[in-house]
């Protein structure tokens, strides 16, 4: 018997993976959570039917959502991740030598616990790393209550459906702006340039209303819709393109991000550039 998992990415296209077994399923107070064992991509974390990360390709997204901003800021000591309960983004953040504290603010404790159990290579930094503080809280509330506190804030959200809708709103970006120090930087995952052009356009405009420097960059993530994924960076002071190449920190374990990719990711193909 063959077992297959399909995510319907749009009403007209999907990704289908042959699986060996379902390791875990549950309905949390926030969403449906599953971990499945795929043959092509290894273990896969699925929320509400949508692929969040897989052991084989997670490095692209997690390195790219973390290191670009960390290397744009000259001293990223205090960093927060909103969402990202699987821990992949936090794992990348704590690689950076200047980071003293990395705070994970995840609303769904079950994502954290299940990731620790079934995806330990991704969640490793959530298991006793002294630089890491894990808070099971609503990120929307957290940014309202912590002003001028962070050097870098990374929004590692799910798709803008259900509870994550507000994480793409102008109000939220304004609160993120205020939660940052005077020279702070934010990054948000902003979806596919093939399938979600409106989301990219709207996020870019909304982030740009608050942040004087707003830039779009991209990376290739095979298990996400269309395989091409964007990130939007908002910065109060530092421009990611003005960074000196020799100052870029590249951890030897990186598989995607390096000093060339730091700049190359901002070199947009026409069909992406014209969205913004
Ligand atoms: N967050 C973005 C995943 C979006 C994928 N969308 C989809 N499969 N339709 C990933 C969180 C990883 N830390």
Domain CATH for 47: 2.30.140.10
**Residues 156, 171, 182, 247: which is the catalytic one?**
156
| Residue 20 belongs to domain spanning | 3-54
39-64 CB burial, b ≥16 within 10 A, e <16: eebebbbbbbebbbbbbebbbbbbbb
**Secondary structure class of 148 (helix, strand, coil):** coil
183 shares a domain with 201: yes
74 shares a domain with 18: no
**Secondary structure class of 170 (helix, strand, coil):** helix
* Position in ligand 1 atom list of the atom nearest CA 189: 2
Question: Which pLDDT does position 162 carry in this prediction?
Answer: 79
On whether the CB atoms of residues 106 and 134 are closer than 8 A, the answer is yes
Q: In the structure encoding, which two tokens stand for residue 117, read together?
A: 């159990």
82 shares a domain with 218: yes
What is the spatial distance between Cα 59 and Cα 74, in angstroms, rounded to a whole number?
23
Distance 34 CA to ligand 1 centre (A): 13
ipTM of the complex: 0.98
213 shares a domain with 102: yes
Is 156 annotated as catalytic? yes
148 shares a domain with 18: no
19 shares a domain with 153: no
128 shares a domain with 23: no
How many structural domains comprise the chain? Answer: 2
**Mutation probe of ligand 1 site: the residue of 11, 51, 52 with most atoms within 8 A of C-beta:** 52
Question: Which pLDDT does position 267 carry in this prediction?
Answer: 98
**CATH number where 246 lies:** 3.40.50.150
Any idea what DSSP says for residue 126? G
The residue whose C-alpha atom lies closest to atom 1 belonging to ligand 1 is: 158
Please list the ranges in the chain whose pLDDT falls under 50.
Answer: none
149 shares a domain with 45: no
Distance 247 CA to ligand 1 centre (A): 30
Q: Residues lining ligand 1, judged by CB closer than 6 Å?
A: 7, 9, 50-53, 61, 84, 86, 88-89, 156, 158-159, 189, 224-225
81 shares a domain with 38: no
Question: Which pLDDT does position 47 carry in this prediction?
Answer: 97
Q: Which residues contact 38 (CB under 8 A, 6 or more apart)?
A: 5, 17, 18, 19, 20, 44, 54
* Position in ligand 1 atom list of the atom nearest CA 53: 12
Any idea what DSSP says for residue 40? T
81 shares a domain with 189: yes
110 shares a domain with 62: yes
Question: Which pLDDT does position 230 carry in this prediction?
Answer: 98
Question: Which pLDDT does position 218 carry in this prediction?
Answer: 98
């Amino acid at each position: 018997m063959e077992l297959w998992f399909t995510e319907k990415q749009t009403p007209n296209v999907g990704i289908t993976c042959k699986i060996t077994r379902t390791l875990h399923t549950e309905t949390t107070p926030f969403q449906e959570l599953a971990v499945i064992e795929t043959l092509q991509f290894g273990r896969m974390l699925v929320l509400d039917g949508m692929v969040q990360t897989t052991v084989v390709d997670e490095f692209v997204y997690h390195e790219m959502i973390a290191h670009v901003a960390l290397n744009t800021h000259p001293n990223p000591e205090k960093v927060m991740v909103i969402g990202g309960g699987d821990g992949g983004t936090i794992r990348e953040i704590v690689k950076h030598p200047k980071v003293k504290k990395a705070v994970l603010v995840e609303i769904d404790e079950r994502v954290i616990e299940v990731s620790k159990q079934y995806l330990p290579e991704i969640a490793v930094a959530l298991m006793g790393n002294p630089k890491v503080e894990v808070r099971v809280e609503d990120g929307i509330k957290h940014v309202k209550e912590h002003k001028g506190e962070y050097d870098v804030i990374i929004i590692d959200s799910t798709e803008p459906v259900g509870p994550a809708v507000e994480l793409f709103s102008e109000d939220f970006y304004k609160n993120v702006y205020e939660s940052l120090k005077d020279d702070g930087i934010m990054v948000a995952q902003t979806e596919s340039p093939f399938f979600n052009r409106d989301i990219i356009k709207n996020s870019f405009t909304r982030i740009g209303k608050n942040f004087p420097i707003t830039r779009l960059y991209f990376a290739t993530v095979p298990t996400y819709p269309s395989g091409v994924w964007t990130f939007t960076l908002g910065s109060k002071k530092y421009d990611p393109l003005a960074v000196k190449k020799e100052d870029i920190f590249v951890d030897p374990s990186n598989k995607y991000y390096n000093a060339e990719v730091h700049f190359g990711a901002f070199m947009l193909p026409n069909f992406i550039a014209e969205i913004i």
